[in-house]
Structure 1
C-alpha cells in the first residue's frame, strides 16, 4: 500500500466523481460528518472502496466471528453494518416477518483503497494512488436528478397503528414496560433509482453528522442519520442516544421558542432520561467498575428538519472486553427499543408488522488505531437494486403521556422529509 496526497480544484465535484467511480465495485462505504462539531468525531469525509476480503453473516455467533475476522486484519479500516435483528442472537427473540430487502444481517469488508477528503486535498491509500486519482478525475457525472419509478405504500394502516399504540400504552399501564419505540415501514416495489444521486440529494436536504452511503453488492444503505450508537476513543466508550423531537420554526424567533419548549417539555425529557438509564445499564456490562457517567444531559442539537434532545453517556472500557463484545453488550440501540429493553423488543415484534432489518441497526467502521464508530440507522433509505425493493421506517417513543394522533403525525412528518428526495408523497 502507498499513500499520496493530491490537490483538488473543485472538491465537491471531485467527491461526486469519486462516489460514481466507487459504484463500479461491489463494495464501498462513504462516511460524511457534514462538518458538524463533535468532540468525539474522527472522520470528516472518508471513502473505502473494493473488498480485498469480507465477512458475511452466516447464522450464528456473529459478533464473535466478526471479532475473529477483525483480528486477522490489524491496522486496517473495516467498514460494515449490523442488522437490528441480530437481537435474536443476543436474546431469546425471533422475527416472524419476511425479509423483503434480502440484506445479510451483518457485513464487513477490508477495503483495497481508502480516500480521505479535507478541503481542497484528498489523501489516497492504495496500491497506486496516482492511477486512482486519474481514474476519478476522468469519471463522468450524470445529470444530477433522481429518477424514480413506483409509489410508496404504508405497511401499517392508520387503523393498525392506532391499535398497536393502544396495546403498547396498555402494557405501559400494566407495568410491563415504561417506554417503547413503535415503528412502521414505508415501501415501494420494483423501483429504479440512482443510489448515488439519491444519497447526494438526501445529504443536501438533510445534512447530518453520521451520514453514510454503503454498498454491498446490489444492496444500498442511504442514510442521513443524526444519531451515534456507540464509539470507542482510546479506552473510552461513548453513546449518544436521541429522544425528544421538535420541528424547526419558520422564523428565528419561532425556532428559538420551539427549542426552549423542547428543553422544558416533561414528556420529551422523560423519554430521553429513561433511555439514558437504559444505556447506562448497558454500558456497565463493558465498563471498568464505577466509570459510567452522563457527560452531557438533554442537550439540544439542531438539524435541517428538526431539533433533538441528545444525551452523552461514557465509560472506560474493561480491558478484558473486546470491541465487538462491547457492541454486543449495548446492541441494539436503546433509543430504538424502549425500556426495559427485552420486554420492549418482544412487544415490538408482537405489534409491529414488518421486519426492521437494517433499520434500527448500526453502520460504521473499525479503524486501524483500534477505535470504532457506529451510528443508529434512522432517517435512512434501504434499497435492493436487483429486486427494486426500496424501504424506510419511521417511528417514535411511546410513553403513558403520549397521544396517538400526535405520534402518528410525527411518523408521517418524518416520512415526508425522506420523500422530498424523490419529490413524491405517500399513497393513501
Structure 2
C-alpha cells in the first residue's frame, strides 16, 4: 500500500524547517517535533504527514465508534485530533459555553505522503498512487528557504475572557465544591483571544517552538483551521502491548541564575501542594488504565519526577499498563479521555463543575493530537501551551489553566496561569 524509502539527512534541524514550510501547499498537514528533548519513550524526532487521501470529521455523537470503524477499515497511518468536548460522547455531559473557533470535535486523515525522521535517518512512506513524486518532492524541499515571510498582524488586541477579579471568585466557588466533598481536584482554565485577527501560522508556530522547545510540539493545518502547539505533555502512547500515560501536574518558575533555578526545581519536587496535585491525577490515571489493562498490569513507573523546560519546571509521573492484542485502540482512548490532568477527580463531577464555571468551550484545547500506526500503535500529546487560529473566523485563541485543590490560593493560581500564558502572549504581541 505504501512505498518506503530510507535516506540519510545531513542537517536534520534545517531539514525539519524545510519540511514544515513545504507542507503549506497542502490542505491538510500535521508536523510533530520532539525538539530532541531527552525522554524515554520517543519513537521519532519529527514526523510530517500531508495531503489527505481519506479523512473523517465528526462531532460528539458516536465519535469514538466512527473513529473505530475508520481506523479498523484503513489499517494505515492516521493523523488528527480529539477535542476535549468528546467527553459528551463518553458521559452524559454537555458543552454550552462560547466557541469562537468552531473546529470539528474530531478530525483524522490518511496522508498520501509521510516523513519519519530519527536522528539523521529519514524514512519516506508514500501511498503507491503517488510514489513517483518522491524525487520531485525532495528536490522541492531541499530548495526551500528555512524561514517564513512574516505577515502576522502586529496589532493584535489580546483580550482576557475572565478578569482577575472574576477568576478569584470562580476559583473560590470551586474551593467550596472541594470543601463540600463534591470533588477533590479540578483543572480550571481561562481563555485569551483576539478578534479580527490575521496571523501567519508558520511564523507564529516557529517562534512559539523556539521559545519553548517542548517534546510534543505540533503544527496542524486543516484548510483554514490551525493548531500551533508547544505542548510538554504526553497524553497516551501504545507501544506493542504497553500503554504509557505521562500526566503533568505541578509547576514552578525558571530563573536565569543557576542557583535560584535549581532551588526552584528542588522546591517544586518537595512542595506538598504541587505533589498532591500530581498524585491525585496519578490515582485517576491508574483507575482509567485499569479499565482496559491486563489484570494486575497497571504500575507507576515514576512518581513526581521534576523536569525542566525552557519556560518552567514541571512534575511528571509515568503510569504504564499492558493490554491484550484484541483490545480496540479507540476503547483504550475512550476509557481514559479526556485526560485526568486536564479534568480533575472524580472526573465526571469535575467536568460538570468546570463547564459551569468556565466561560469558553474548550474544543481542541485540552484535547489530544497525534497518530495511529498500521501496526495498531498510537501516540498522542495533550493540547496545552497552544494557539488555535480560525482563518475563516479571523479568531485567535489560547487558554491556560491550573489544578485547584484544597491547598490552592486563588491569587497564586492566577499567577500560575499568567506564567503559562507568557510564551503565547509574547509570540502574538
Normalized against structure 2, the TM-score is what? Answer: 0.95
Q: Which runs of 5+ in 2 are unaligned?
A: none
- In structure 2, what is the equivalent of residue 313 of structure 1? 319
How far, CA to CA, are the matches of 1:104 and 1:31 in structure 2? Answer: 20
Q: Which runs of 5+ in 1 are unaligned?
A: none
Bigger shift: residues 124-133 or 142-151: 142-151
CA RMSD of aligned residues (A): 1.5
Q: Secondary structure at the match of 1:51?
A: strand
Cα distance, 1:57 vs structure 2: 0.8
Contact 2:208/2:423, CA 8 A, preserved across alignment: no
Cα distance, 1:23 vs structure 2: 1.0
- In structure 1, what is the equivalent of residue 64 of structure 2? 63
Choose the corresponding residue for 1:138, options 135, 138, 143: 143
Cα distance, 1:186 vs structure 2: 0.4
Matched, 1:369 2:375: yes
Q: Show CA shifts across 1:20-71 (max 9, x none).
A: 2211111011111111222221121110110000010144211111111011
Matched, 1:49 2:54: no
How far, CA to CA, are the matches of 2:316 and 2:144 in structure 1? Answer: 40
Cα distance, 1:123 vs structure 2: 3.0
Query: Aligned runs of 1:324-343 on 2, under 5 Å?
Result: 324-343=330-349
Contact 2:235/2:247, CA 8 A, preserved across alignment: yes
Matched, 1:349 2:355: yes
Matched residues, number: 422
Query: Aligned runs of 1:28-39 on 2, under 5 Å?
Result: 28-39=29-40
- In structure 1, what is the equivalent of residue 111 of structure 2? 111
Q: Secondary structure at the match of 1:224?
A: strand
Choose the corresponding residue for 1:237, options 223, 238, 243: 243
Q: Secondary structure at the match of 1:187?
A: strand
Cα distance, 1:12 vs structure 2: 3.3
Contact 1:241/1:310, CA 8 A, preserved across alignment: yes
How far, CA to CA, are the matches of 1:352 and 1:180 in structure 2? Answer: 12
Contact 2:98/2:359, CA 8 A, preserved across alignment: no
- In structure 1, what is the equivalent of residue 275 of structure 2? 269
How far, CA to CA, are the matches of 2:7 and 2:17 in structure 1? Answer: 16
Contact 1:64/1:325, CA 8 A, preserved across alignment: no
Choose the corresponding residue for 1:252, options 250, 253, 258: 258
How far, CA to CA, are the matches of 1:58 and 1:379 in structure 2? Answer: 24
Q: Secondary structure at the match of 1:72?
A: helix
Q: Secondary structure at the match of 2:198?
A: coil
Query: Aligned runs of 1:13-412 on 2, under 5 Å?
Result: 13-74=14-75, 76-120=76-120, 122-126=122-126, 127-128=131-132, 129-140=134-145, 143=148, 145=150, 147-148=152-153, 149-412=155-418
